[in-house]
Chains A and B, each alone.
Chain A
Amino acid sequence: MLLIRCPYCEEERPELEFRNAGEAHVVRSANMAATSDEDFEKYFFIRSNPKGVIYERWRHIHGCARFFNAVRDTVTDKFVMTYKAGEPKPKKLPGVAK
């Protein structure tokens, strides 16, 4: 069972308290009505599904109930870092050589 650090509670809690909520930084258009079919496809269906570092949303559903973002390695399952919803994609990741 993974330990996940909730950026709002500021502590590591067991995975059971959290729920994954899909890929992060997928921007919902401010003008949905004018979104083209291609853009809507990208927004709603297309996900990066990388082997390696993924940016994803989690919810501390059985804790503070907040949504936040996390950087996780899909190969090792290790969390690189977590950060609050609305914060930009981190440019530098601790401990990840790029």
Chain B
Amino acid sequence: MAASYRISGAGRFSHAKVAKFSFDGRPYAGIEGDTLASALLANGVHLAGRSFKYHRPRGILSAGAEEPNALVEIRRDAARRTPNVRATVQELYDGLEAASQNRWPSLSFDVGAVNDAFSPLFSAGFYYKTFMWPKTAWKSLYEPKIRAAAGLGVAPDQPDPDHYAARFAHCEVLVLGGGAAGLAAALAAAETGVRVIVVDEQADFGGALRFEAGARIDGQDGWTWAQGVVARLKAMDNVRVLNRTTAFGYYAQNFIGLVERVSDHLAAPGRDLPRERLWQIRAKKVVLATGAIERHMVFADNDRPGIMLVSAARTYLNHYGVAVGRNVGIYTANDSAYAAALDLKKAGVNVAAIVDLRDNPSGELVDQARAANIEIHDGRAVVRVGGKLRVNSMTVQKRTGGGERTLPIDALLMSAGWTPSVHLFSQSRGKVAFNDEVKRFLPGTYAQDCVSVGACNGTDGLAASVDEAYAAGAKAAKEAGGKAAKSAKPKVEASEGWSRGMLGAAPGAGPGTTVKAFVDFQNDVTAKDIRQAVHEGMRSIEHVKRFTTNGMATDQGKTSNMHGLAIAAEELGKPIPQVGLTTFRAPYTPVTFGSIANHARGALFDPTRRTTTHGWAEKHGAVFEDVGQWKRAWYFAKAGEDMHAAVNRECVTVRKTAGLFDASTLGKIEVVGPDAATFMELMYTNPWQKLAPGRCRYGLMLREDGFIYDDGVVGRLAEDRFHVTTTTGGAARVMNQMEDYLQTEFPQLKVWLTSISEQWAVVAVQGPNSRKIIEPLVEGIDLSDEAFPHMSVREGKICGVPTRLFRMSFSGERGFEVNVPADYGEAVWEALWAEGQKHGACAYGTETMHVLRAEKGYIIVGQDTDGTVTVNDAGIDWAIGKKKADFVGMRGMMRPDLVAPGRKQLVGLKTKDPNVVLEEGAQIVADPSQPIPMKMIGHVTSSYWSENCGRSIALGLVAGGREKMGQTLYVPMPDRVIEVEVSGTVFFDEKGERLNG
């Protein structure tokens, strides 16, 4: 297919290769260097999408990141479907597949467009008003319908197969924006020798020089100069040049987030390239050279395809060599449109007329336009356009009313003036100030070490911008430690004038009119909507914005904010600064989740911690459960066993003979020093001074508020040395609490804390035969009950390697915990397993460990306690050292509410039907026949089937529970009410005889 709007000899890619692409299944041809937008326009295609709310046909408004209309889906394959891509940003590659969005069944005939006909129904605040009533309809009717109708593109439904990279970088001067100003600043800074990074969102540097044909710098045309500067910068070792890179967020202390689009423009990216690269740059100085964005004119049906910004049409012509039409109208309120008219005329495009809102516009460009025989209708407005899927006429009327004249056109270019891009400045927490003379918000008070230059600083004219930028770049570099700049600053020999424009609605769309004059294209907000918001009581622009959704689409109101503000201000009869400007927030343009998530997904989302016996457990049928970051063996299923059968077998085997359990995940802290016992007394509720070396004690840790924080067995290895264990999940926070008190409250104590959780692997050997299993392997430790009683610790050797051997039990059976250096963990486990086999021992997992401890009524902090449970609530007052003057939580636990009667206390719960196993978390009531909502007096914290007891067992927190022993309570479930009897917490071997059995 011939690219019929391509102008031969125009543009910068005239010798580029052809790139074939498709749009909605139709094949087209463009050239390499095109954007999707320029390639569509080269084929005469303006209709690119349907609007969000009214489904109105929409064309291409801009040639850059501000595009609100031409949002398409780009498809590479089934998984690589990217919705809401701006056609003006997407570079063309051979084979590109694009599809329009928000239309059914087709772009040119869209059923949803009936919304346009019913638009009086969908006015501002429609959702707030309409869906208020009836209340019940929200969930069943309104929300599902709105959800189905809302949104633009369709999210891909497969995992993202691409990968994303991340880089951190530091520099002295970071220049954001690679137009004339940005390049001048970068050059000045680079020549001082400091590290400079210069960034631009486009494929090529040059900014407005892409279209500004009249610029001449250092004896070259502006564009050529810019490419020369880029080449010079790239050749310098201290400079990094990043194109296709958008600075999306400006964070504290000159920390900037950027996304570099690495391969979205390539036909065959290859697996070695990331799709995008996230840059996080810390800069000493930031130079903002973000330019300005042209505003559209707000008039009736200003959204018809074929109506676009003047600068866009000029970019398509001068950069891409594409004419946006053959008979073009221009509607402007400022001078920059005249240069476009002249360029178009020169390229052989007929300019039907320039309609200028101003009376008697004057100046060099106006004179040139007149000399080129371009009709100028001054003091006039475009009040109407013809054509639906493509503009075909414009109707011109005097600004003050009167006779109309209709001109046929096939494209209409509009310019209401330029809005400085203060987005990043505002994100840096700088305060903008309204300049009443030029009617624009400009950088006012700076909050960070940055400077704005050029158009984003309100500096008009290329020469002034380049001067300002060069000086700012040199100054920033010098302040950051650079030497004086060596070369002369660029000399601007010719440029085009920029002048003011207008804000708000154009004639014909003013107060009292009902036309659809769009302010915000992407969210379908008209001038009338904004006035209506004011009539309905919105006073601040923040309210107007939320009521109308003006500026709330993904384009963040780049073209619409100032118009919306001006219309609201006019309607309120207030000056613009009093109505206020909405806050700019990151990201400047949409950022993919992929670039933010980056490598942190799948297996790399969170570290996985495995114990030394993980491989062994895998080979022996272990099913694992996640405990924090740890993978712990949950149960070891033999062939044909389900979890229930495996756990029953493990539980019985441990009590009958013995079992091996990997307890390595327990937190372990070594507390060492002459004041170690004093410190332990302060950290734990228990007394420690009199604990003899070689003995162990159950330690209970509180927070200062008096609630249980952690627990674990502590062994005293020597007068000045404790081996402290913590819960698996509590290891880090216990260490933190200890360090906190040691460093800040008790710094006088001579104590050193070392985390040893990963240094020692732990094998728990539990059961009546446990001693027989370890005996053949242990050297240097007398294992008799007399020499090594329950709750003791000894140092010696096992399998020839050092061990800290604990005689302790979390099962209620005679038990040992064999600590060995982690490197020997697997080997010692294997040796113990071989011995265990001789006695019919099993390996058991966390589920069996839980059941066995529940049979004994041993609590698990975090399961039977929840941060609101006191020592007394848990029924373990014996763990408090009564004679101690101080410990963390001592005062907190004396607070009135913590000692008040009626608190929830930990009790045992036995179901009347022993075969029924309660659900953990189920609520408990005293009277099941009371009306709903019932008074809940407690809940189930632990519940299991106990094969050893031949019945279900449970622990629960019940208000006044210890006074309710033997009473019947009720657990209401959706299908039935379960009767339970309150009991003691020990279900098995109440006297504890088996610890030495």
Interface residues of B in 878-894 (CB under 8 A from A): 885-886, 890-892
- Is the pair B704, A44 in contact by a Cβ cutoff of 8 Å? yes
Question: How far, in whole Å, are A15 and B295 apart by their CA atoms in the complex?
Answer: 40
Question: How far, in whole Å, are A46 and B432 apart by their CA atoms in the complex?
Answer: 37
Across-interface contacts of A35 in B (CB, < 8 A): 891
Scoring A residues 55 to 89 as 1 if CB is less than 8 Å from chain B, else 0, what string do you get?
A: 00101010001110000000011100000011000
- Is the pair A33, B744 in contact by a Cβ cutoff of 8 Å? no
B279 to A: closest C-beta gap in Å? 13
Question: Which of B253, B704, B744 meets A3, CB within 8 Å?
Answer: B253
- Chain A residue nearest to B254 (CB atoms) is A3
- Is the pair B890, A1 in contact by a Cβ cutoff of 8 Å? no
A82 to B: closest C-beta gap in Å? 14
A42 to B: closest C-beta gap in Å? 12
- Whether A28 is near chain B, meaning CB under 8 Å from some CB there, is yes
- Whether B675 is near chain A, meaning CB under 8 Å from some CB there, is no
- Is the pair B252, A28 in contact by a Cβ cutoff of 8 Å? no
Question: Which of B740, B745, B891 meets A33, CB within 8 Å?
Answer: B891
A55 to B: closest C-beta gap in Å? 13
- Whether A32 is near chain B, meaning CB under 8 Å from some CB there, is yes
Question: Which of B251, B253, B892 meets A44, CB within 8 Å?
Answer: B892
Question: How far, in whole Å, are A76 and B705 apart by their CA atoms in the complex?
Answer: 32
**Interface size in chain B (residues, C-beta < 8 A):** 24
Question: Which of A44, A66, A77 meets B252, CB within 8 Å?
Answer: A77
Question: How far, in whole Å, are A11 and B567 apart by their CA atoms in the complex?
Answer: 51
Question: How far, in whole Å, are A35 and B253 apart by their CA atoms in the complex?
Answer: 43
- Is the pair B705, A85 in contact by a Cβ cutoff of 8 Å? no
- Whether B896 is near chain A, meaning CB under 8 Å from some CB there, is yes
- Is the pair A28, B890 in contact by a Cβ cutoff of 8 Å? no
B285 to A: closest C-beta gap in Å? 15
- Chain A residue nearest to B887 (CB atoms) is A32
- Is the pair B253, A40 in contact by a Cβ cutoff of 8 Å? no
Across-interface contacts of A59 in B (CB, < 8 A): 736, 739-740
Across-interface contacts of B896 in A (CB, < 8 A): 37
Across-interface contacts of A9 in B (CB, < 8 A): none
Interface residues of B in 440-481 (CB under 8 A from A): 447
Question: How far, in whole Å, are A57 and B253 apart by their CA atoms in the complex?
Answer: 20
- Whether B255 is near chain A, meaning CB under 8 Å from some CB there, is yes
Q: Are A28 and B739 CB-contacts (below 8 A) given A3-B253, A44-B892, A77-B252?
A: no
Across-interface contacts of A65 in B (CB, < 8 A): 739
- Is the pair B253, A85 in contact by a Cβ cutoff of 8 Å? no
B250 to A: closest C-beta gap in Å? 12
- Whether B631 is near chain A, meaning CB under 8 Å from some CB there, is no
Question: How far, in whole Å, are A29 and B891 apart by their CA atoms in the complex?
Answer: 10
B706 to A: closest C-beta gap in Å? 10
- Whether A93 is near chain B, meaning CB under 8 Å from some CB there, is no
- Whether B499 is near chain A, meaning CB under 8 Å from some CB there, is no
Question: How far, in whole Å, are A73 and B704 apart by their CA atoms in the complex?
Answer: 28
- Is the pair B744, A67 in contact by a Cβ cutoff of 8 Å? yes
A52 to B: closest C-beta gap in Å? 15
Across-interface contacts of A32 in B (CB, < 8 A): 886, 890-891
B888 to A: closest C-beta gap in Å? 9
- Is the pair A86, B895 in contact by a Cβ cutoff of 8 Å? no
Question: How far, in whole Å, are A2 and B255 apart by their CA atoms in the complex?
Answer: 8
- Is the pair A67, B892 in contact by a Cβ cutoff of 8 Å? no
Across-interface contacts of B704 in A (CB, < 8 A): 44
Q: Are A67 and B252 CB-contacts (below 8 A) given A40-B891, A40-B892?
A: no
- Is the pair A85, B891 in contact by a Cβ cutoff of 8 Å? no
- Chain A residue nearest to B255 (CB atoms) is A1
Q: Are A67 and B740 CB-contacts (below 8 A) given A2-B253, A32-B891?
A: yes
A18 to B: closest C-beta gap in Å? 13
Question: How far, in whole Å, are A61 and B737 apart by their CA atoms in the complex?
Answer: 12
Scoring B residues 253 to 274 as 1 if CB is less than 8 Å from chain A, else 0, what string do you get?
A: 1010000000000000000000
Interface residues of A in 8-63 (CB under 8 A from B): 21, 28-29, 31-33, 35, 37, 40, 44, 57, 59, 61
Across-interface contacts of A1 in B (CB, < 8 A): 251-253, 255, 280
- Is the pair B744, A86 in contact by a Cβ cutoff of 8 Å? yes
- Chain B residue nearest to A79 (CB atoms) is B253
Question: How far, in whole Å, are A57 and B429 apart by their CA atoms in the complex?
Answer: 25
- Chain A residue nearest to B257 (CB atoms) is A1
- Whether B747 is near chain A, meaning CB under 8 Å from some CB there, is yes
A69 to B: closest C-beta gap in Å? 9
Question: How far, in whole Å, are A21 and B11 apart by their CA atoms in the complex?
Answer: 60
Question: How far, in whole Å, are A59 and B733 apart by their CA atoms in the complex?
Answer: 13
- Whether B743 is near chain A, meaning CB under 8 Å from some CB there, is yes
Q: Are A66 and B886 CB-contacts (below 8 A) given A1-B251, A44-B705?
A: no
Across-interface contacts of B886 in A (CB, < 8 A): 31-33
Question: How far, in whole Å, are A34 and B148 apart by their CA atoms in the complex?
Answer: 64
- Chain B residue nearest to A30 (CB atoms) is B886
Question: How far, in whole Å, are A86 and B743 apart by their CA atoms in the complex?
Answer: 9
Question: How far, in whole Å, are A32 and B681 apart by their CA atoms in the complex?
Answer: 14
Scoring B residues 943 to 985 as 1 if CB is less than 8 Å from chain A, else 0, what string do you get?
A: 0000000000000000000000000000000000000000000
Across-interface contacts of A57 in B (CB, < 8 A): 744
- Is the pair A85, B892 in contact by a Cβ cutoff of 8 Å? no
- Is the pair A33, B885 in contact by a Cβ cutoff of 8 Å? yes
- Chain A residue nearest to B891 (CB atoms) is A32
Question: How far, in whole Å, are A76 and B445 apart by their CA atoms in the complex?
Answer: 13
- Is the pair B739, A67 in contact by a Cβ cutoff of 8 Å? yes
Across-interface contacts of A37 in B (CB, < 8 A): 895-896
Question: How far, in whole Å, are A61 and B743 apart by their CA atoms in the complex?
Answer: 13
- Is the pair B743, A28 in contact by a Cβ cutoff of 8 Å? no
B249 to A: closest C-beta gap in Å? 11
Question: How far, in whole Å, are A28 and B891 apart by their CA atoms in the complex?
Answer: 11
- Is the pair A40, B251 in contact by a Cβ cutoff of 8 Å? no
Across-interface contacts of B705 in A (CB, < 8 A): 44
A1, A21, A29, A35 interface centre (most CB from chain B within 10 Å): A1
Q: Are A21 and B253 CB-contacts (below 8 A) given A32-B891, A37-B895, A76-B447?
A: no
Question: How far, in whole Å, are A61 and B89 apart by their CA atoms in the complex?
Answer: 43
Question: How far, in whole Å, are A19 and B599 apart by their CA atoms in the complex?
Answer: 24
- Is the pair A85, B744 in contact by a Cβ cutoff of 8 Å? yes
Scoring B residues 29 to 40 as 1 if CB is less than 8 Å from chain A, else 0, what string do you get?
A: 000000000000
Q: Are A66 and B743 CB-contacts (below 8 A) given A1-B255, A44-B704?
A: yes
A29, A32, A37, A65 interface centre (most CB from chain B within 10 Å): A32
B527 to A: closest C-beta gap in Å? 37
Question: How far, in whole Å, are A21 and B635 apart by their CA atoms in the complex?
Answer: 39
A29, A44, A61 interface centre (most CB from chain B within 10 Å): A44
B96 to A: closest C-beta gap in Å? 37
Chosen A-B contacts, 25 in total, with CB atoms closer than 8 Å, are: A1-B251, A1-B255, A2-B252, A3-B253, A3-B282, A21-B740, A28-B745, A32-B890, A33-B885, A33-B886, A33-B890, A33-B891, A35-B891, A37-B895, A40-B892, A61-B736, A65-B739, A66-B743, A67-B740, A76-B447, A78-B252, A85-B743, A85-B744, A86-B744, A86-B747
Q: Could you list which residues of chain B lie within 8 angstroms of chain A, going by C-beta atoms?
A: 251-253, 255, 280, 282, 429, 447, 704-705, 736, 739-740, 743-745, 747, 885-886, 890-892, 895-896
A-B pairs, 7 with minimum CB distance: A32-B891, A67-B743, A1-B255, A2-B252, A3-B253, A85-B744, A32-B886
Apart from A1-B253, A28-B745, A59-B736, list 12 A-B contacts with CB within 8 A.
A1-B280, A2-B252, A2-B253, A29-B891, A37-B895, A40-B892, A59-B739, A65-B739, A76-B447, A77-B252, A85-B743, A85-B747
